[in-house]
Amino acid sequence: MITAIAEAWLLAWLLAATLGAGALAVLASGLLLRELWVEPLRPAFSAAGRAMPALVVLALPLVALAPDLYPWTGKPRAVAIGVATAVILPLWCVLGRWLDRRAEKRWPAGIALMLVVLSAAIGFEDWALSRDPAWVASLQGISLLEGGAAAFLGLAVLILGCPEDPEARTGLERALLTLGVFALWLWFVQFVTVWAADLPPEAAWYLRRQEGGWPWLKLGIAVPALLGAIALSAVPQWRPWRMRAVCALLVMQHAAGLLWSVRPDAPLAPGAAEGSPGAVTDAIVIALVALLLALALRLAGRGRADPV
Taking only the tens place, the pLDDT of each residue in 52-103 is 999 999 999 999 999 999 999 989 889 999 999 999 999 999 998 888 776 6
| Whole-number pLDDT of residue 85 | 95
Who's near 95: CB < 8 A, 6+ residues apart?
24, 28, 112, 115, 116
Going through the chain in order, the beta strands assigned E by DSSP cover none
Return the percentage of the chain with pLDDT > 90, whole number: 61
Residue 1: Cβ-neighbour burial (10 angstroms; 0-12, 13-18, 19+) = exposed
274-306 confidence digits (pLDDT tens): 767 788 888 999 999 999 988 888 876 655 544
Question: What's the mean pLDDT in 12-16?
Answer: 96
Average pLDDT, the chain: 89
Residue 209: Cβ-neighbour burial (10 angstroms; 0-12, 13-18, 19+) = middle
The half-sphere exposure of 243 on its side-chain side, counting CA atoms within 13 A, is 23
Is 135:225 a contact under the CB 8 Å cutoff?
Answer: no
Max CA distance (Å), the chain: 61
108-130 confidence digits (pLDDT tens): 889 999 999 999 999 999 999 89
In CATH, what number is assigned to the domain containing residue 276?
A: 1.20.1630
pLDDT at 198 exceeding the cut of 80: no
| Whole-number pLDDT of residue 140 | 87
Residue type, 173: E
Is 277:7 a contact under the CB 8 Å cutoff?
Answer: yes
pLDDT at 184 exceeding the cut of 90: yes
| Whole-number pLDDT of residue 306 | 44
Residue type, 216: W
Residue whose C-alpha is closest to residue 137's, from 89, 204, 88: 204
Residue whose C-alpha is closest to residue 9's, from 265, 284, 208: 284
161: left (phi over 0), alpha (psi -120 to 50) or beta: left
| Whole-number pLDDT of residue 305 | 46
pLDDT at 197 exceeding the cut of 70: yes
Range of the domain at 152: 2-305
| Whole-number pLDDT of residue 269 | 86
| Number of Cβ within a 10 Å radius of residue 116 | 27
pLDDT at 192 exceeding the cut of 50: yes
Question: What's the mean pLDDT in 215-226?
Answer: 94
Number of domains composing the chain: 1
- Helix (H) and strand (E) counts for the chain? 11, 0
Give me the DSSP letters along 115-166.
HHHHHHHHHHHHHHHTTSTT---HHHHHHHHHHHHHHHHHHHHHHH---SSH
Task: Tell me the pLDDT band of 212, cut-offs 50, 70 and 90.
Answer: confident
Model pTM score = 0.92
| Whole-number pLDDT of residue 202 | 77
Residue ranges of the alpha helices (H) in the chain?
A: 2-32, 42-69, 76-101, 107-129, 138-160, 166-197, 200-208, 214-217, 223-233, 240-262, 279-305
Is 253:247 a contact under the CB 8 Å cutoff?
Answer: no
